[in-house]
Structure 1
Amino acid sequence: MAAAAVATSSRGSLREDLTCAICCDLFREPVMLACMHHFCKPCISRYWRGTQGPVSCPQCRKEFSTKQFHTNYLVTAMVEKVRATTSDSYIKNLEKQLKETLERHRLKKEAFINSIRRDKDKMDTIKRVGADLQARVKGDFRALHQILHDEETCVLEQLRREQEEELEKVQRHLEAIELVVRELEDNMRVLQQASADTESVVLTELPQLRPCVHVDVAVEFDINTFSNKYMAPLQYITWRKMFKSLKPGPSPLTFDADTAHPNIHVSRDKTVAVECDFAVPHTDHNKRFLQCVNILAAQGFQSGRHYWEVEVASKPKWDLGVASESVERHARIKLSPESGYWTLRVRNGNEYSAGTQPWTRLQLSSSPHKIGVFLDCEERRVSFYNADDMSLLYSFTNGPRGKVFPFFSPCICDRSQKPQPIRLLHYPSVALSG
């Protein structure tokens, strides 16, 4: 506002400097007299008209012998500029520009204010989600701590019982021996007394003695047998035992041979699937894949949280993930969520992609030999992990609804290479003691 006032004042002062003292208007064809004063050429010509002899300046009254003046082109240009900038059209145009500039600034300010509001909302969301995740992490670790605490309590209680049993055995043997010693001491006193009495009395028979209690030979304490089970790799054994308490624990999946494409061979224990050149004898089923070399697990899920691991080793080509129960089995379908598939795939041994449309290329620092798949039915989340270090590879956040089955495709690989299987990994629990 102050700058505008200064500008207006400056224009007003300039206009005064460029105003003719005769006509009191902006110069028209400005000329300069020898005294350096300016006037309109028509005005000064009219002012001197009819004057004989010397003429004078209308402002300073300085006299000149002749009627001479010089055109001042610089002042002419300045006058034209002032005249242009004070015209109604110029002022209207300037006012329009001011309004437009002000509106642009207002819109920019509004956009930045909205951006600030979004950033603050984002910060609130991050804090809220972070707090929820912290509570979830603490809950998961609290459960793990409880499992370890319960296992530690159980092992220490078992050790205490076995220690007490061994101590009781030794204590009973000790008490029996101490009883025998006391009985022997009693008999020795009787015999000593009888021996002393023989000096004055003829001994005709041995004195009556107490019978000694029979004591079994003490069983040797086998320190190795006692300590071996507690000198075992307890951390590893406990880690194995924790699998049955994990939520979700690793699901012991098996392949559903009735869904296998005819060119997939399934092992007898239903944990290994491998592609083959020839069609395996099979029974026709509506649920069998006929166009794509696919197979499903026998176990399906529609609620809860589930995790399983698949060994792919150095297999150069495969697909795996989850598939809706209703997926088309007899036609060739693109693996995408729109078709009922949430998958991860590899091509050429190291080209990893998530099964979106189009495919999302993944940049991995190393090639996993085992893939972990996590399915959260309530959160509708399907996530893939490098099971060797549990680093996240990709996560679908808009996952399936309804019942789904673990999905696998060993694919048809280069005939020059030996087919490599896909293997379902199981983690049976290990007992701490017999």
Structure 2
Amino acid sequence: MSAASCLRSEDQFLCSICLDVFTDPVSTPCGHNFCKNCINEHWNSNDQYLCPMCKKVFNTRPELHINTFISEMVSQFRQEAQQKASSSSSEQQAAKPGEVPCDVCTGTKLKALKSCLVCLTSYCETHLEPHLTASRLKRHQLMDPVENLEDRMCMKHDKPLELFCKTDQTCVCMFCSVLDHKTHDVVPLKEEYEGKKAELGKTEVEIQEMIQKRRLKIEEIKHSVDLSEEAADREKAEGVQVFTALKDSVERSLNELIETIEEKQRTTEKKAEDFIKELEQEISELKKRSSEVEKLSHSEDHLHLLQNFPSLKAAPPTKDWTKVSVRPSYKGTVVTAVTQLEETLSKQKNKLLEAELKRVQQYAVDVTLDPDTAHPNLILSDDGKQVNHGDVKKKLPDNPKRFKCYADVLGKQGYSSGRFYFEVQVKEKTDWDLGVARESINRKGNVTVSTDNGYWNICLRNKNEYKGFNNIPVVLSLKSRPQKVGVFVDYEEGLVSFYDVDAAALIYSFTGCSFTEKLYPFFSPCPHDGGKNFAPLIICPVNQTE
């Protein structure tokens, strides 16, 4: 058999047994031509000596001789083919790493143009030509070049895998379909290919939709970053303004303190100077009297001494200096200045809190209580804005959303993004719980209210004990009893804040939270305690603070 395929398209130069260009062509008595080895091997493997082409049977094995005419023609064609192949090879590119090489090329392997599923061989443009021109080879199935063509053959029957078993979801050959997969749902490979291709089309659409969603998410995140940057700039500007004002206040207070102290020092110095002048004047008078007394004491004139003695014996009139002192007191000066500064800072802080409350009130939402979640002991108003605890446990449908163990109720509206705010009147109540809860909280069993369990709440107990329900409850110290509580949530920021609306004061904040599902407003009016805590929780319309 020949090791290389000829590029000529004439069928008469191809052996019908090996489908290759003649090697040592011989002619049978019936006039057909074959490669010498091909026809000998054919007869050696059969009991009869028959022509593979016309099926003529010879009683005795014919003696075969080389057909010199055909041999010369084949030699000529080989030379022409070699010249053409050499010329074509120079124009074609060698196979690069990752590309399928031609299995027939010797020396430099050219890039394969097609693979034959019958020959299980890959061909470059030159060696592919017989498959495009020879009638017998045209029937072979060609495809884009692939490696490992042996993988496309049935390992058991050595036949092409041209069918697909839908039962076992595997490729099979024709023998497999009638033996191992006889009762299975087997279809042509092309049919399953078309179906799978359609599925891949749908998958591709879904993937593109997923890509688009993620691109939109990227844009959303970028937009959030832009908004965050703008908010950061605003916050920095406000911070610079506030702290500049605070700095100015501190500097003014310091200057006033220094001026006060210096004024006291100046007053002290003036007072001391006046005392010193007065003392020096008295010293001068006393010196004068001392001189007169000394002079009189040395007089020998008895009459003169006796006459002047009464006026000189008594000391001149002077001030009692025993209780006079210069002791300036600066005690409390700094404390007073700091107290005044604290008052100034407190006023500034209140202004900031008022501005903060006014800002979050812009995100007010209309909250309505959800009767499907309300515990049977709770009494809801017709408009869904009020709830209190009753004595009678109502018979209600066992709704999966309803609280069973604790007298709680949720709002109808859930939020999974953005910011929202609502206000609740807690006036005249001694116990209550307020906040937000995630959708998946345990509504049927006993559960500890905490952030780990999906609650971000604060509460009042025993009239004046306020707590934040973190994983470890936090005791809250409030200056006044809130009459109306504002609840603000920033989903993306992971923030839940509570405000005393009337005092415009921050009560408590949960920060750094991670929200992954819907959040619902949460309310618990708590047991009425014999009527002491019967007042309802009331969802109020939000009136922005002035």
TM above 0.5, one fold? no
After TM superposition, the score normalised by the length of structure 1 is 0.42
Higher radius of gyration, 1 or 2: 2
